[in-house]
Amino acid sequence: MIRAFYTALETSLSAALLLGGISALFLGRPGASRDRGAGRVFALLCGAGVLSALVISVLRRTTAINRGMVNAWALGAAIGSSGMILGSLFHHGPQGQEDGKHRLPVFLVPLYAALLLFYSLPDLFLMPSDFVLAGQAVFSTEFLAKLCGAAAGALAAALAGLGVFRGGLVSGGDLRGARLFRLCVALLLLVNTADQAARLTQFLMARRVIPLYRPLFRLVMGAVNNGAVFRFALGGVAALIPAAALVLAAGPGARAGLGASLNPAQRRKAKEERRRVLRQSAGCLALFCLVFLSLTALKAWDERGAALSPPEPMTVLGAEILVPVERFEDGRLHRFAWNASDGTEVRFIVIKKSPSAYGVGLDACDICGNTGYYERRDGVVCRLCDVVMNKSTIGFKGGCNPVPLAYRIREGAMVVALSDLESEKGRFK
């Protein structure tokens, strides 16, 4: 349940924070309250994004849809939309003065919101299907507990996004607050675009659309393997928005607005509105603290046992590695390591899948890099994304499976060529 909570929180947090920021930017712009058509367009495109994500989720579970290609197109469109939004954010008025107003094309922000939902929600929709392991009954106590945890994580992310939205509307009513809010939204877009660009580049490099240039590969894999840095950066910037709303509501300007120019009824209403903003902003900041603790202390405590097992002994004979096959009869995950010519430790794993078949691959994949795999109950799990591997697929390309490694069986021993490991040493640097 705990793992399902913070996994769902990680999956949906970035999208929730961005949606809160850009929706407040779009719906709180000058004249937006009179533009009902723009609000309907926003709601319609967001609904289309959710529906499309649901369709893609069903297709991913029932057909062999190329998820990577779909995501690549969505990421490319989202990066382009983000760039145009950033350009419009800093568009000055006719006199070239920053008056807190900004011009946003009616379809641009709703389109970006729809693409954000389309890209982010399928992983959340598919989480329940990952809760059921082979041989386990659906709607068991464990399944329902994980489902409740995932729902709580998604709800926490949604509430954080709502706090950003309400804080943005409050900040937008003040000139200095509007400028700070606009800067925060720009930073949110920049951080998320950098994350999306790294993932898109990874996809293109994996399919050799972009040449596998080693410095670029290391940069991209460093960004992908440290996705938590982007999430914490987004959370830190987003937390400034309710913090600004709290400062504005508690500051002298808000108290001065309760002066003698208001009649008693208006003064009571203004005081209640100020107290409401203070409560909501303080509650949102408390929620951000809870989110931070969930993604750091709670996650570290839950994953304290997810360490890689030490490499097992093996025999190096000439240009080959030999391991007796009877060692794999237990059906467990076995890890081996060999130092390449430059000293890089290249790891590979072996598991017996059936009486006559073995799963052999590098302890790394094209998606998550060299973070490695470990055993949990009867499953093989990626340490980075927590995806449970089907043992029968290990040794084949696709998804988060280990990169296949060639081998042969000779005289009761598994034989792996050192040259194959040497050619893959770049993955472990």
Q: What is the mean pLDDT of residues 179-188?
A: 87
The dihedral formed by the CA atoms of 254, 256, 262 and 268, expressed in degrees to the nearest 10: 50
Give the number of domains in the chain.
2
Residues 256 and 352 in one domain: no
Taking CA 182 as the corner, what is the angle to CA 10 and CA 42, rounded to the nearest 5 degrees? 70
> Is the predicted pLDDT of residue 427 greater than 80, yes or no?
yes
Residue 205 falls inside a structural domain? yes
Looking at 267, 302, 337, the residue that finishes a domain is: 302
pLDDT in tens, 332-371: 889 999 898 888 899 999 988 887 788 898 988 887 788 8
Residue 67 falls inside a structural domain? yes
Residue 310 falls inside a structural domain? no
Contact 244, 171 (CB under 8 A): yes
Looking at 302, 323, 357, the residue that finishes a domain is: 302
Residues 360 and 240 in one domain: no
Residue 309 falls inside a structural domain? no
- Please tell me whether residue 242 adopts helix, strand or coil conformation: helix
Positive or negative CA dihedral for 28, 34, 35, 40? positive
Which amino acid would we find at residue 237? V
Residues 129 and 210 in one domain: yes
Residues 331 and 288 in one domain: no
| Mean pLDDT over the full length of the chain | 80
Residues 6 or more apart in contact with residue 313 via CB below 8 angstroms: none
Residues 292 and 213 in one domain: yes
pLDDT at position 95 is 34
Residues 210 and 326 in one domain: no
Residue 195 falls inside a structural domain? yes
Q: In the chain, pLDDT over 90 holds for what percent of residues?
A: 10
Residues 363 and 400 in one domain: yes
Cβ of 154: how many Cβ atoms within 10 Å? 20
Structural domain range at position 131: 2-302
Residues 290 and 347 in one domain: no
**187 — pLDDT class (breaks 50, 70, 90):** very high
Residue 308 falls inside a structural domain? no
Greatest mean pLDDT among 165-174, 323-332, 392-401? 323-332
Taking CA 198 as the corner, what is the angle to CA 194 and CA 199, rounded to the nearest 5 degrees? 120
pLDDT in tens, 100-130: 444 555 677 888 888 889 888 888 888 887 6
> Is the predicted pLDDT of residue 324 greater than 50, yes or no?
yes
Residues 229 and 87 in one domain: yes
pLDDT at position 224 is 80
Task: Work out the burial of residue 136: count CB atoms within 10 Å of its CB; fewer than 13 is exposed, 13-18 middle, 19 or more buried.
Answer: exposed
Residues 351 and 285 in one domain: no
Looking at 246, 274, 302, the residue that finishes a domain is: 302
Residue 50 falls inside a structural domain? yes
Q: What is the mean pLDDT of residues 158-183?
A: 80
Residues 258 and 406 in one domain: no
> Is the predicted pLDDT of residue 27 greater than 70, yes or no?
yes
Long-range contacts of 248-254 (CB under 8 A, 24+ apart): 248/170, 248/171, 248/174, 248/177, 248/277, 249/170, 249/274, 249/277, 249/278, 249/281, 250/278, 253/174
Residue 226 falls inside a structural domain? yes
pLDDT at position 254 is 55
Give the domain CATH number at 412. Answer: 2.102.10
pLDDT at position 336 is 92
pLDDT at position 156 is 92
Token pair 């002066």: residue: 259
Residues 147 and 171 in one domain: yes
pTM of the entire structure? Answer: 0.66
Q: What is the mean pLDDT of residues 306-312?
A: 80
Q: What is the mean pLDDT of residues 199-222?
A: 81
